Amino acid sequence: MSLELFVFYVLAGVAVGAAAMVISSRNPVHSVLFLILTFFNAAGLFVLIGAEFLGMVLVVVYVGAVAVLFMFVVMMLDINFVRMREGMLQYLPVGALVGLILLVELGLVFGTWALVEDVTPAFPAPAPDQVPNTRALGQLLYTDYIYLFQAAGVILLVAIIGAITLTLRERKGVLRQDIGRQVARDRAATVELRKVKVGSGIQ
């Protein structure tokens, strides 16, 4: 067994095990930690096949931003785990149905790939010779898939605007900072001078 094959089996085994723990762990914080471990091992697999740019992007974007954001959200929500488990049996049939559909679809995909020998990709893109991985990926994204890439950017922009709009909406009972009102206030409206006698306080 070569060293590359041994490293592949180690990274793949840890990634599959951590991915299973993501969905089987009862504590959401532990699930996020196992998700970070899965991302690291997937990045190692990318580096192993020569796609070092995708591996670094996976570490920087998903581990450094998305997974950490998940961790902060889970810890700040203060979820009542006992109350969450009370309605588990109620949604169990729906979850089992969705899981069965996904299992059948995965079986169809992998079964077709294993049974049919001459399977060609729908959009073949041969790797150029003597071109770095990052440059080849950039050429592919900004030539053949430029419109889809721009459409994905527009969708993300709309999602960001929608999230900001929902956050900044006016709600009753929620204190908000009005910078213009703070700057425009005068001294008489904010400061009150009182002459306090010795030995007595302010009533």
Per-residue pLDDT of the chain (203 residues; tens, 9 = 90+): 788 888 888 889 999 999 998 888 877 778 888 888 898 899 888 888 888 888 888 888 888 877 777 777 776 666 666 666 666 677 778 878 888 888 887 777 667 656 656 655 555 555 556 777 778 888 888 888 899 989 999 998 998 888 788 767 666 777 777 788 888 888 887 888 888 888 776 66
Give the pLDDT confidence score for residue 51 in this predicted structure: 80
CA dist 197 → 170, 187, 202 (Å): 45, 24, 9
Residue type, 11: L
Q: What is the separation of C-alpha 152 from the centre of its chain, rounded to a whole number of angstroms?
A: 16
Assign 3-state DSSP to the chain and report helix, strand, coil percentages, each to 5: 70, 0, 30
CA dist 91 → 88, 104, 105 (Å): 6, 20, 22
Give the pLDDT confidence score for residue 84 in this predicted structure: 62
Residue type, 186: D
Residue type, 161: I
At the second CATH level, the architecture of 1-86 is: Up-down Bundle (1.20)
Give the pLDDT confidence score for residue 78 in this predicted structure: 61
- The residue ranges of every structural domain in the chain are 1-86, 130-171
Give the integer Cα–Cα distance in Å for 168 and 65: 23
